[in-house]
Amino acid sequence: MKYVKPLMLITDIGFILYWFVTLFHLIPEEAAFKDYHNPVIVAWNWSFLPLDILISISGLISLYLHKKKRPLWKNAALISLVLTFCSGLQAIAFWAFRGDFDPVWWSFNLFLMIYPLCFIRIVMTDNTATKDHFQAGRL
């Protein structure tokens, strides 16, 4: 968990910041992805908003539950990690099918695919944040 927690926190906050920056058009034109003003591409990008926010919510909840030593942290972390992988995979697949390679955007999305794969097993086998006297009715 030594590396999982900071990476998850950075990713979750990163998603929230990305959508804030996107909402207010703060990404410089030269740093934006190809066809940034194409309405179809804009809609495709915005279609990730619910997924990315769900990733952030589940990730932040898992970190909170881990801190409180609640066993449900694993469920929330697994949801966050799997959805993070899916978010990266969908973006990489889209850019690959278009034949569009931008090292910056690919790097971010490859990170979203690779980091969860490194930690899913660790999260599922970690027992450091559980209470023996956990009550099923409480988070």
Q: What is the pLDDT along the chain (139 residues), one digit of tens a residue?
A: 688 899 999 999 999 999 999 999 898 888 887 888 899 999 999 999 999 999 999 999 999 999 999 999 999 999 999 999 999 999 999 999 999 999 999 999 999 999 999 999 888 887 766 654 344 445 5
Residue-level pLDDT at 30: 83
**Six-digit token pair at 29?**
């034109």
Which pLDDT value is given to residue 44? 95
User: Residue 138: its pLDDT value, please?
Assistant: 53
SS in 3 state form for the chain? CCCHHHHHHHHHHHHHHHHHHHHCCCCCHHHCCCCCCCHHHHHHHHCCHHHHHHHHHHHHHHHHHHHCCCCCHHHHHHHHHHHHHHHHHHHHHHHHHHCCCCHHHHHHHHHHHHHHHHHHHHHHHCCCCCCCCCCCCCC
Predicted local distance difference test score (pLDDT) of residue 112: 97
Domain spans, the chain: 4-21+37-125
pTM of the model: 0.86
